[in-house]
């Protein structure tokens, strides 16, 4: 699960530019060095919160599940969608 935190305490919507992305690898543990040019998916982060979970990555199936979740408070110790039902906001 990709969880993004605004460590400056600013909501993402107040930042002039904010995005995230990920690099697909040939296989897990392949040791490939991060190369920004290989980022295959980039998403703009514009939520009116300080914590977002944009995607869940299923490494076994090699799929990305779009979640677009914005949390209104820090995740519980069990950081998963089920454990954070009360802190989610609706996508804009």
Q: What is the pLDDT of residue 73?
A: 74
Give a yes or no: residue 88 inside a domain.
no
Average pLDDT value for residue range 5-24 = 88
Domain that holds residue 52: 2-27+34-77
Give a yes or no: residue 84 inside a domain.
no
Give a yes or no: residue 60 inside a domain.
yes
Long-range contact pairs involving 63-72 (C-beta distance under 8 Å, separation at least 24): 64/22
Report which of residues 32 and 5 the model is more confident about: 5
How many domains are there within the chain? 1
* Residue 75 and residue 49 in contact, taking contact as beta carbons nearer than 8 Å: no
Report which of residues 66 and 34 the model is more confident about: 66
Q: What is the pLDDT of residue 39?
A: 81
Q: Give the contacts of 40 (CB within 8 A, at least 6 positions apart).
A: 21, 22, 23, 24
Over 90: is that where the pLDDT of 14 sits?
A: yes
Give a yes or no: residue 92 inside a domain.
no
Q: What is the pLDDT of residue 8?
A: 87
Q: What is the pTM of this model?
A: 0.67
């Amino acid at each position: 699960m990709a969880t993004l935190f605004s460590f400056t305490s600013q909501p993402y919507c107040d930042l002039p530019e904010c995005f995230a992305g990920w690099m697909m690898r040939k296989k897990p543990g392949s040791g490939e060095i991060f190369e920004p040019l290989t980022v295959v998916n980039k998403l703009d982060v514009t939520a009116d919160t300080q914590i977002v979970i944009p995607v869940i990555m299923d490494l076994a199936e090699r799929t990305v599940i779009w979640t677009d979740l914005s949390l209104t408070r820090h995740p519980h110790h069990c950081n998963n969608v089920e454990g954070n039902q009360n802190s989610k906001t609706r996508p804009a």
